Structure 1
Amino acid sequence: MSFFTSLSGLKAAQTDLNVISNNVANVSSTGFKKSRAMFGDLFAAAPTQATKTVAGQGVRLTGITQQFTQGTLQGTDKTLDLAIAGDGFFTVKGQPPRQDTNYTRNGAFSVNQNREVVDTVGMKAQLLPVDANGVATSTNAADMFDFVVPDVDPTDPAALLTNISINGEGVVSATFSNGNQVNIGALAVASFTSVEGLRPVGDAHWQASGDSGPALINQAANGPLGQIRSGSLELANVDITEELVSLISAQRNFQANAQAIETASTLSQTIINLQV
């Protein structure tokens, strides 16, 4: 039995090492959120058995929990580099034909050849309609639309775009050469009942799941949602010193379980070699 108990410990230590290694590897990934492996003990006994004479049977992985703490904001001075200071996720939609909806903290947006504002994997940023004062007129996901940078003033085709600005509430304003300023929309920011239940899909993107609950869409700086910081990016929330300490601890756990297997093997070999 000691072989299988120690084997479960080896597997647990290996999983812990994998999780920590992934955190360390993504220390420079924009919008990355670290994870932590959670473990529980294994114990089994019959209803009539005295549990004081029963040893545990090892350890098992109960889950890998994501840590959605705030990462450090780094200034870039690029208007379309966006970060959320607080809770919430940018809402992005994929290109046809799938057009799946993802949620991300990586606000490194840029403009593609179709003048669509896209993230690092080409998914389109989503906006909510706003009134003249920049207040969202709808928070329904069905009313979201693609963030497209206009090239001319809709009311004056001769007036060219001169500037795009995004305020703390995520309102996107376009200024044209004729002096007109138009609110295009507000960035659609999502929150979830249980962010730990989000399903990671890579590139600092997540999808809603049954565990996370449906996305609650709103304008930034409303309810639990944080403010938008234009000209900034959120760095990974990985503390490299903390991860290295955890890495040493996981390595020691692995070595201890390996030593337990070696000891059990030595004892078994000694018993086999006993001569009557």
Structure 2
Amino acid sequence: MSFNVALSGLAAANKDLAVTGNNIANVATTGFKGSRAEFADVYSASILGTGGKVAGAGVRTAAISQQFTQGNINHTGNSLDLAINGNGFFAMSAQGQMMYTRAGEFGTDKDGYIQNSSGFRLQGFPVGAGGQILQGKKVDLQVDTSSVSPKATSLINETINLDSTASIIPAAPGFDSSDPETFNWSTSVPVYDSLGNSHTMTHYFSRRQEVLPATGTYWEMYTLIDGLDPLDPTSNVPTPERLEFDTYGRLTMPAAGEFTIPMGDPTATPPVVGWVPQQITDATTNPPTAVANGAVANPTGVTVSFADMTQFNAVSAVTSQKQDGYATGQLSGLNIDENGNMFAAFTNGESKLIGQVMLVNFSNPQGLKPVGGTAWVETYASGVPIEGMAKSGTFGAIQAGALEESNVDLTAQLVQLIKAQSNYQANAKTVTTQTTVMQTTINMT
């Protein structure tokens, strides 16, 4: 019987050595979770036996328990390296079979699908037609590499101050963009047409004196696009817009603080609709003239909002300026936030939500079955997967540009290795001692 006890001890120590060695071997494996060998004693007795008089029958391996504690987060700078800070697993599809991992070393295949080194595709939620995340609809996440279509400018917001002490510019001989004596100040803003071409919209401001018998002053604003009148691309002298201010320097005319810059003249013959100030030269005329190339800027015109415009005793200046148009954009990068939302960044400065990384958790993570490749599969003991998004419920946060290191404490494992070795030697000594006792017994016969 003593031999069996010693052999069970040798087997247990050997199992402990194997588990510890595996932990040490994977100390640098991304997302690896260390294990520990758990043992239980063995007793054998009849039903009528007395427990106080029964000798132990050795030891058995009760379980090899995985330790799902948090590993250190190591920042890599790679946008598709993902780490989970907290609870949860990444869900991967291996040709339809679901696997789960904490190793977030991802890349893309030739079709833009996000996958790991084994070719398993990362699972997540898609984006609906309205731009919202469709949670509950699990898909293979894919990076959309298509270009962003351009958007013609339709609204410009500008906050401007006009100097209340600026000199009066006589109405005659009239406005000339090439003559700074005919205006006080000018400012420009980029605008885009429907083809993504960039143009320059320039506002010229001239301070005028009311004609007698009226008193006071007002401003006239002249708008040119690429140096030409947006209403008539054959002219560079646009129709002015009138600006009036009260005694507190607040804009009173127009009342809403908005102008619509027309992009064409529907009364012309033939009508000029959606004129684009991107010109080509018509060499058949003498002298050659610039004509529109036929693209559409914005048929309804561009609205310019001066709601916060002022007239104070300060230098004329722009304090803020923005417009809603943009050029064609090519994919330039990918950003993933803590909730797992994936944003594609484009060369035109725009970004687009293209999906959300899904996280999965289990009632009993230790019941998961390891299948290699730092992956696990669901079992009856683990319970069914609970799907959700990062930073909700019990799920942790996703850190992009980072990886979770192995949670193995190398120092502790080396100590455990020494203990397992001592246990093995001690159990081997039991075998040696039992052999000596048996040999003595044989010699007595």
Measured in 2, the distance between the counterparts of 1:115 and 1:135 equals: 21
CA offsets per residue over residues 23-58 of structure 1, 9 Å max, x none? 000001000000011110101222322222210100
- 1:153 Cα offset (Å): 3.6
1:117 paired to 2:287: no
| Contact kept? 2:8, 2:60, Cα under 8 Å | yes
Structure 1 segment 30-109 matched on structure 2, within 5 A: 30-94=30-94, 98-109=95-106
| Contact kept? 2:126, 2:354, Cα under 8 Å | yes
1:203 paired to 2:200: no
The SS at the match of 2:55 is coil
| Contact kept? 1:201, 1:207, Cα under 8 Å | yes
With the length of structure 1 as denominator, give the TM-score of the two structures: 0.92
- Give the partner amino acid of 2:135: S
Compared CA separation, residues 179 and 132, structure 1 to 2 (3 A)? farther
Measured in 2, the distance between the counterparts of 1:118 and 1:179 equals: 27
Structure having the higher Rg: 2
How many residues are aligned here? Answer: 269
Compared CA separation, residues 258 and 21, structure 1 to 2 (3 A)? same
Measured in 1, the distance between the counterparts of 2:50 and 2:130 equals: 72
What residue number does 2:3 align with? 3
Moved over 6 A (4+): 131-135
Measured in 2, the distance between the counterparts of 1:175 and 1:243 equals: 44
Higher helix share: 1
| Contact kept? 2:148, 2:346, Cα under 8 Å | no
What residue number does 1:138 align with? 135
| Contact kept? 1:134, 1:171, Cα under 8 Å | no
Compared CA separation, residues 72 and 135, structure 1 to 2 (3 A)? farther
| Contact kept? 1:132, 1:183, Cα under 8 Å | no
Measured in 1, the distance between the counterparts of 2:121 and 2:148 equals: 22
Measured in 2, the distance between the counterparts of 1:134 and 1:10 equals: 62
Equivalent pairs: percent with the same residue?
A: 41
Measured in 1, the distance between the counterparts of 2:141 and 2:60 equals: 46
1:180 paired to 2:174: no
What residue number does 2:125 align with? 128
Measured in 2, the distance between the counterparts of 1:255 and 1:135 equals: 63
- 1:236 Cα offset (Å): 0.3
Measured in 2, the distance between the counterparts of 1:145 and 1:116 equals: 10
The SS at the match of 1:202 is coil
CA RMSD in angstroms comes to: 1.9
- 1:91 Cα offset (Å): 0.8
| Contact kept? 2:31, 2:103, Cα under 8 Å | yes
Compared CA separation, residues 91 and 145, structure 1 to 2 (3 A)? same
- 1:244 Cα offset (Å): 0.5
- Give the partner amino acid of 2:103: N
- 1:130 Cα offset (Å): 4.8
- 1:9 Cα offset (Å): 0.4
Compared CA separation, residues 130 and 115, structure 1 to 2 (3 A)? closer
- Segments of structure 2 that go 5 or more residues without pairing to the other structure are 151-194, 196-327
With the length of structure 2 as denominator, give the TM-score of the two structures: 0.58
| Contact kept? 2:125, 2:141, Cα under 8 Å | no
CA offsets per residue over residues 128-151 of structure 1, 9 Å max, x none? 135699874323xxx211121111
What residue number does 1:17 align with? 17
Measured in 2, the distance between the counterparts of 1:70 and 1:35 equals: 13
Measured in 2, the distance between the counterparts of 1:228 and 1:130 equals: 19
Compared CA separation, residues 70 and 20, structure 1 to 2 (3 A)? same
The SS at the match of 1:13 is helix
Compared CA separation, residues 204 and 272, structure 1 to 2 (3 A)? same
- 1:154 Cα offset (Å): 6.1
Measured in 2, the distance between the counterparts of 1:65 and 1:109 equals: 28
What residue number does 2:409 align with? 239
| Contact kept? 1:89, 1:189, Cα under 8 Å | yes
The SS at the match of 2:380 is coil
Measured in 2, the distance between the counterparts of 1:132 and 1:220 equals: 23
What residue number does 2:337 align with? 167
- Segments of structure 1 that go 5 or more residues without pairing to the other structure are none
CA offsets per residue over residues 5-26 of structure 1, 9 Å max, x none? 1100000000000000000000
Measured in 2, the distance between the counterparts of 1:133 and 1:241 equals: 53
| Contact kept? 2:329, 2:346, Cα under 8 Å | yes
